[in-house]
Amino acid sequence: MNTLSPVITIDGPTASGKGTVAHRVATALGWGVLDSGALYRLTALSVLQHEIDPEDSQAVARAGQQLEVSFHPQGVALFGREVSEVIRQEHVGNLASRLAPNPALRQALLERQRAFRIAPGLVADGRDMGTIVFKDASLKIFLVADARARAERRCKQLIDKGISANLDDLVADMRERDARDIERAVAPLVPAPDAHVVDSSQLTIEQTVQNVLDLWSRVLPTPPAKV
C-alpha cells in the first residue's frame, strides 16, 4: 500500500496562474504547497550574488545544492535574507529559465522538492511536477492559457507593484521562455500522459480552482459501502 501523502501537481507555462491556483487549492484542502519555480529563481539569485558563471553547470548545480532556504507564510528567505520580492523580478526569472535545462541542477533540486511531501498532502506547481518529481501524484493538472492572456495578467501584476511593463515585450519574453522550457532535453514542459489539461484563458481564478477541486473530488477513494 502506498503510504505516501497525496499530491496534486499543477504544471504549465509561465504566468498560466499555476501559483495562485496551487495556493488556493492547498488552502481549500488544508495542504502544504510547493512553488518549485521559486527554487530555480533562488538558484538564479544565488548565482548572481556569488557571481557564478551561468555556463558553469557544475558550479550552478552546487549553488542549487547549497541554497539555505526557508519558506515562511509571508514569503521566502535565502541565506537568512528576505528575498520574496527580488526573486519575482523579470531578470531573475529569465536567468532561472536559462539555468533550468542543466541536468545536474535539476538533480540537485530533486530531493529538496520531494521533501515537501508531508501529511496531510501537497499541491506542487512547476513544469515537471507530474512528469518527473511526483510521477505517482493522485491528480495531475496541466494549466494552460493563451500567451496574450498570460502576458496581460503578468503586465497587470507588475503595474500593480509599481513596476513599468510593456505588453508586447512581455508576450515576446514569455514565448521565448516557453520555447526554452518546451524544447529542452531534460524535463521538458509537456503534460504527463495522465494529466488533465485545463485552459484558464476564459476562466476566473475561482472557476479554475473549482475545476481542480471538482477533479480532485472525483479521484478521492470511494468509502466502502455500508452493509
Nearest to ligand C5P of 5, 19 (CB atom)? 19
Q: Annotate 41-50 with b (16+ C-beta within 10 A) or e (fewer).
A: bbbbbbbeee
Distance CA 200, CA 51 (A): 38
- The one among 76, 128, 137, 150 contacting ligand C5P by CB under 6 A: 128
| CB 113 within 8 Å of CB 133 | yes
| CB 79 within 8 Å of CB 68 | yes
Number of H helices, E strands in the chain: 8, 8
Span near ligand C5P by CB under 6 A; candidates 59-67, 91-99, 140-148, 204-212:
91-99
Q: Which secondary structure element, helix H or strand E, spans residue 170, and what is its range?
A: helix 167-183
Q: Least distance to ligand C5P from the beta carbon of 227, Å?
A: 45
- The one among 93, 149, 155, 170 contacting ligand C5P by CB under 6 A: 93
The reply on whether position 14 binds ligand C5P by CB under 6 A is yes
Span near ligand C5P by CB under 6 A; candidates 34-42, 135-143, 159-167, 219-227:
34-42
Nearest to ligand C5P of 176, 220 (CB atom)? 176
Q: Least distance to ligand C5P from the beta carbon of 40, Å?
A: 3
Distance CA 114, CA 137 (A): 12
Would you tell me which residues interact with ligand C5P (CB under 6 A)? 14, 36-37, 40-41, 93, 96-97, 100, 126-128, 177, 181
